[in-house]
């Protein structure tokens, strides 16, 4: 193996890594001894403490704030096909324990020891997202390793995420192997779906709310359901399959709503349904003015808080969205308040719902706290890997309390 170059950390900068974290920030590197500009994005290097003690191997990108991502705590291990195969097998074993069918997130970045890599599985079709220069450098090995471990019929590289621009990478969507159709099929909680992997959001589907959707189904039989920010109907179609009498879907994408309709038909749903195309806030206000009420309202918006600097404005958006949603919940009904913003803590989301309860003179009871599914495992030392929350509330009139 070729001898790797070295980056030296400043004094005390190794504390977080020793505690289990895997990221190195550019201001933690002793650039006098090891200038970052000497490296090319994607290089693998040995990381040393200020005293010269090796900590492991990292992939580096000298142009980004997170300039290094630890891939091994041994200087003898680099990220190559052999390492990829080994870690893919470990990742696969977890998913096969958790799920009966081959529909899940196979790789969840840092939590699977593969920082910068996400892989979603739709039976024998894989959708891959690479977000770091290090993983882009070994893209060929990633494809070969996936072929060895999974033996898919096709692989789609959905490399159009926002992180790629930060890493200085081009944006592209292309087949890496085989032929990937416009739509792929999956099964979640015994409900069938089609997902637009080429043109849809992220990989085309969001497996992370799987367990929360399963819990929601318990409250849907014989009920009216509203699915806000529905995308292709992950929540609402499962509510329909659980016996909802009618389901209303709201989304800004007309294309996404066409997939909602297809997914309802795919599950032979015979109840009522309404597809509302437009701004979610305006659509909810319209339903309020029509005095509509629903037994279950699901509020699962996109990330209103992408960065720390967005927290104040984002919390305002969550407050407004949840207030409109709460006004649409029938007496004794259920509000599902979801968030995929890592910078919004669960306690803060709960506080937002509590505040709305007081303002609207509602009596709310928290009955379930949900998080991401097992195929999105949380790395105990990397808080950024724990991002998803779903809080279920029963909503009543004030009751004088």
pLDDT digits (tens, 9 = 90+) for 171-201: 999 999 999 999 999 999 999 999 999 999 9
| % of the chain at pLDDT higher than 70 | 99
Query: Span 354-380, mean pLDDT?
Result: 97
| % of the chain at pLDDT higher than 90 | 96
Spatial separation of the C-alpha atoms in residues 45 and 41, rounded to whole Å: 11
| pLDDT for 39 beyond 80 | yes
Give all domains of the chain, ordered by start, each with its CATH number: 6-72 (2.30.130.10), 81-180 (3.30.750.80), 184-397 (3.40.50.150)
| pLDDT for 399 beyond 90 | no
The verdict on pTM exceeding 0.85 is: yes
| pLDDT for 345 beyond 90 | yes
| pLDDT for 25 beyond 80 | yes
* Residue 113 near residue 135, CB atoms below 8 Å: no
CB neighbours (10 Å) of residue 60? Answer: 27
pLDDT digits (tens, 9 = 90+) for 273-282: 999 999 999 9
Spatial separation of the C-alpha atoms in residues 133 and 168, rounded to whole Å: 8
Grade residue 308 by pLDDT with cuts at 50, 70 and 90: confident
| pLDDT for 211 beyond 90 | yes
SS3 4: coil
How big is the chain, counted in residues? 401
Query: Span 366-377, mean pLDDT?
Result: 98
Mean pLDDT for the chain? 96
What are the tokens at 68? Answer: 């290094």
pLDDT on residue 246:
97
| pLDDT for 341 beyond 80 | yes
Positions of E strands within 183-309: 183-188, 191-196, 224-228, 246-251, 272-277, 294-299
Query: Span 53-75, mean pLDDT?
Result: 96
pLDDT digits (tens, 9 = 90+) for 77-116: 999 999 999 999 999 999 999 999 999 999 999 999 999 9
Nearest-5° angle of CA 44, CA 49, CA 55? 50
Q: Tokens 């403490």 label which residue? A: 49
* Residue 391 near residue 346, CB atoms below 8 Å: yes
* Residue 322 near residue 297, CB atoms below 8 Å: no
| pLDDT for 15 beyond 80 | yes
Q: What are phi and psi of 190, to 5 degrees?
A: 65, 20
* CB contact burial 105-133 (16+ within 10 A = b; e otherwise): bbbbbbbbbbbbbbbbbbeebbbbbbbbb
Spatial separation of the C-alpha atoms in residues 129 and 201, rounded to whole Å: 12
- Which residues lie closer than 8 Å to 108 by C-beta, 6 or more apart? 91, 118, 375, 376, 377, 385
Q: Tokens 């893209």 label which residue? A: 139
pLDDT on residue 400:
62
The DSSP bridge pattern shows strands 54-60 and 44-48 to be: antiparallel
What are the tokens at 119? Answer: 């892989």
pLDDT digits (tens, 9 = 90+) for 122-169: 999 999 999 999 999 999 999 999 999 999 999 999 999 889 999 999
Spatial separation of the C-alpha atoms in residues 110 and 70, rounded to whole Å: 9
């Amino acid at each position: 193996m070729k001898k790797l170059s070295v980056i030296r950390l400043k004094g005390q900068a190794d504390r977080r890594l020793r505690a289990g974290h895997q990221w190195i920030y550019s201001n933690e590197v002793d650039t006098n001894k090891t200038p970052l500009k000497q490296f090319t994005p994607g290089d693998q290097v040995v990381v040393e403490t200020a005293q010269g003690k090796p900590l492991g191997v990292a992939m580096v990108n000298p142009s980004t704030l997170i300039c290094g991502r630890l891939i091994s705590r041994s200087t003898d291990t680099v990220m190559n096909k052999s390492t990829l195969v080994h870690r893919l097998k470990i990742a696969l074993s977890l998913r096969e324990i958790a799920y009966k069918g081959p529909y899940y997130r196979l790789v969840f970045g840092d939590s699977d020891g593969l920082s910068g890599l996400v892989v979603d599985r739709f039976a024998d079709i894989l959708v891959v997202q690479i977000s770091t220069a290090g993983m882009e450098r070994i893209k060929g090995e990633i494809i070969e390793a996936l072929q060895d471990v999974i033996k898919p019929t096709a692989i789609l590289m959905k490399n159009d995420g926002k992180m790629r621009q930060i890493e200085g990478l081009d944006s592209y969507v292309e087949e890496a192997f085989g032929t990937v159709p416009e739509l792929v099929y999956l099964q979640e909680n015994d409900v069938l779906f089609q997902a637009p992997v080429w043109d849809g959001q992220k990989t085309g589907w969001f497996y992370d709310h799987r367990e929360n959707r399963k819990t929601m189904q318990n409250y849907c039989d014989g009920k009216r359901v509203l699915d806000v920010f529905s995308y292709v109907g992950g929540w609402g179609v499962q509510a329909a399959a659980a016996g909802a009498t009618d389901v209303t879907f709201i989304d800004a994408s007309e294309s996404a709503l066409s997939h909602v309709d297809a997914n309802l038909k795919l599950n032979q749903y015979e109840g009522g349904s309404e597809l509302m195309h437009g701004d979610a806030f305006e659509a909810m206000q319209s339903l309020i003015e029509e005095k509509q009420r629903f037994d279950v309202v699901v509020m699962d918006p996109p990330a209103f808080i992408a960065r720390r600097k967005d927290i104040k404005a984002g919390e305002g958006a969550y407050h407004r969205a949840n207030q409109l949603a709460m006004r649409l919940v029938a007496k004794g009904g259920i509000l599902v308040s979801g968030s995929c913003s890592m910078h919004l803590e669960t306690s803060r989301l709960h506080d937002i719902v509590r505040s709305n309860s007081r303002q609207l003179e509602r009596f709310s009871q928290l009955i379930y706290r949900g998080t991401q599914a097992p195929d999105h495992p949380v790395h105990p030392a990397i808080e950024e890997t724990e991002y998803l929350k779903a809080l279920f509330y029963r909503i009543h009139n004030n009751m004088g309390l």
